[in-house]
Chains A and B, each alone.
Chain A
């Protein structure tokens, strides 16, 4: 029951960090196995979601580290997957707006892809999962100051990535 309630959210978080469906599925399933094994140690000082986020983020970062050690080209290969995913996402009916939306999403996908995984995790937790700074600090295992710095860094970076495109749309 708990798994079914959280599986989509956990998969989405894993996917946003690893940017590959197969790996994300593996990370998400492994996260529940790990959560099951660690459940006796769950003290309840953080919410279940925050606790789960921490497990998912750590597993996702481990997954990326393993792959980058084994095959440095994997990271670049995924750019295509990410871009394709961005292109295929549902867009508005109006063809012009749909094209613009796809362009922005594609750029955003590339921008997110280019971020360091630890920075990407912070961004995803904040902007897509809507976690608070404290929850992110717990999930990623860093200080509040680091969360603030990383968020500023990635926001500035993405804003720069999108700037030419967004200026055209004004």
Chain B
């Protein structure tokens, strides 16, 4: 059994070729796959296709900020941070206990309504 045949019988043959094209194999595995690629024209074509795709991808220019966007970037980040701080500093909504103490009449009325509802429900 030659090495090319060995590679074709392996699970993940495609993965090895793709990793070989991206230069991501260990030196030992790289040497083995290189030997196969030399001997197998179909494998070589696959590797070349992966290499061209990877090269095209790596050559894609980076998206950059325009001068205006770059200048406004930090002030906007600071504005958002300040806005977040202001929201944190805002007094929290009053809890139930504070509501009861602040509005005793309303609380009493709510309690009476609840009691009446319970009586009406149990009577029916």
- Measured CB to CB, the residues of A under 8 A from B are 3-4, 7-8, 11-12, 15-16, 21, 24-25, 28-30, 32-33, 36-37, 85, 89-90, 104-105, 108, 123, 127-128, 148, 151-152, 155-156, 158-159, 162-163, 166
Choice from A4, A11, A127, A148 contacting B64 with Cβ under 8 Å: A11
Docked Cα-Cα span, A104 to B36, in Å, equals 29
Write out the residue numbers on chain B whose beta carbons fall within 8 Å of the beta carbon of A89: 60-61
B72 to chain A, nearest CB (A): 9
Q: Mark B71-105, 1 if CB is under 8 A from A, else 0.
A: 00110110011001000000000000000000000
Interface of B is mostly: helix
Write out the residue numbers on chain A whose beta carbons fall within 8 Å of the beta carbon of B84: 33, 37
CB pair A158–B53 under 8 Å, yes or no, is yes
Choice from A7, A152, A162, A163 contacting B65 with Cβ under 8 Å: A7
Docked Cα-Cα span, A156 to B18, in Å, equals 8
Interface residues on B, range: 20 to 34
The answer to whether residues A3 and B74 also contact, given A104-B56, A158-B53, A162-B52 and a CB cut-off of 8 A, is: yes
A128 to chain B, nearest CB (A): 7
Docked Cα-Cα span, A159 to B84, in Å, equals 45
A45 to chain B, nearest CB (A): 24
Choice from A21, A32, A36, A108 contacting B56 with Cβ under 8 Å: A108
CB pair A29–B53 under 8 Å, yes or no, is no
Choice from A11, A29, A148, A159 contacting B49 with Cβ under 8 Å: A159
From B57, which residue of chain A is reached at the shortest CB distance?
A127
B90 to chain A, nearest CB (A): 16
CB pair A128–B65 under 8 Å, yes or no, is no
CB pair A128–B57 under 8 Å, yes or no, is yes
From A161, which residue of chain B is reached at the shortest CB distance?
B53
- Measured CB to CB, the residues of B under 8 A from A are 14-15, 18-19, 22, 49-50, 52-54, 56-58, 60-65, 69-70, 73-74, 76-77, 80-81, 84
Write out the residue numbers on chain A whose beta carbons fall within 8 Å of the beta carbon of B76: 29
CB pair B53–A155 under 8 Å, yes or no, is yes
Write out the residue numbers on chain A whose beta carbons fall within 8 Å of the beta carbon of B15: 148, 152
CB pair A8–B70 under 8 Å, yes or no, is yes
B59 to chain A, nearest CB (A): 8
Most chain A CB within 10 A, of B54, B57, B69, is at B57
Choice from A37, A148, A158 contacting B57 with Cβ under 8 Å: A158
Docked Cα-Cα span, A37 to B80, in Å, equals 11
Docked Cα-Cα span, A159 to B55, in Å, equals 11
Choice from B14, B18, B64, B70 contacting A12 with Cβ under 8 Å: B64
Choice from B14, B53, B61, B73 contacting A7 with Cβ under 8 Å: B73
Most chain B CB within 10 A, of A89, A105, A156, is at A156
